[in-house]
Amino acid sequence: MAKILILYSTTDGHTREIARRIAEQIAQAGHAPTRVDVQDPPAGFTLADFDAAIVGASIHMEKHQRRMIAFVRERAAELARLPGAFFSVCMTAAGTGERDRAHARAYIDRFVARTGWLPANTASFAGAVLYTRYGFLKRLVMRQIMKARGRDTDTTRDFVYTDWQQVADFTDRFLAGLATGSHPPRDPRHADVASGASSRR
């Protein structure tokens, strides 16, 4: 049984939900997952307590959260010694065109470049539009953005675009690598995006 850290950062809470789903799958596989919000780590938190790590961060205003970038950059050497994976959450990953896929991959490229950590597996998951959780101004702005993209604009509802099978496949790959001890660094340009959601590699 491996002790697996799932470290995440979130703006509106959806990345937390993805982390929860991953933790459930890991627990079902017989391992011990621990979810930690990078904005509020528990007292005494240290990477030395874990056998592997999955890191997840969402895109807000075209960037991953600063706190996550700073944390990973400061501990890149520690993370490199653990079997690791990274997932990025952004609405761009909900697109089906090559331009959208390239944009989603670029977020991961940028994260790797800024932190110096190259995890074995990476993926980009489509996020959610949580109108009911937004303040008036953000709700208005998000509605205009979604309208321009031809997507859902009913502000009385929330819309989740995450492909949960893609999340499950990502977790399966991570667990398979953990079982075999095979976690070589992976080119982030090969990150899974929406169009490859259900494919296994």
Q: How confident is the model at residue 198 (pLDDT cuts 50, 70, 90)?
A: very low
pLDDT digits (tens, 9 = 90+) for 103-158: 889 999 999 999 999 998 999 999 888 888 888 998 888 888 888 877 888 888 88
Task: Reply yes or no on whether the pLDDT at 188 is more than 60.
Answer: no
* Secondary element (H or E) of residue 121: strand 121-125
Is residue 2 within 8 A of residue 32, CB to CB? The reply is yes
Q: How confident is the model at residue 201 (pLDDT cuts 50, 70, 90)?
A: very low
Is residue 66 within 8 A of residue 99, CB to CB? The reply is no
In the chain, the percentage of residues whose pLDDT exceeds 90 is 59
Assigned CATH for 3-127+162-194: 3.40.50.360
Q: How confident is the model at residue 89 (pLDDT cuts 50, 70, 90)?
A: very high
pLDDT digits (tens, 9 = 90+) for 48-82: 999 999 999 999 878 899 999 999 999 999 999 99
pLDDT of residue 14: 93
Tokens of 35: 């979810």
> Which backbone phi and psi does 64 adopt, to 5 degrees?
-75, 160
Pairing of strands 128-130, 158-160: antiparallel
Instruction: Supply the mean pLDDT for the chain.
Output: 87
Is residue 36 within 8 A of residue 6, CB to CB? The reply is yes
pTM of the model: 0.85
Beta carbons within 8 Å of 23's beta carbon, 6+ residues apart:
6, 33, 34, 35
pLDDT digits (tens, 9 = 90+) for 25-50: 999 999 999 999 999 999 999 999 99
Is residue 117 within 8 A of residue 84, CB to CB? The reply is yes
> Which backbone phi and psi does 48 adopt, to 5 degrees?
-65, -15
Instruction: Give me the residue spans of the domains in the chain.
Output: 3-127+162-194, 130-160
Q: Which of 18-22, 25-29, 31-35, 91-95 has the lowest mean pLDDT?
A: 91-95
Residue with tokens 């007292």: 43
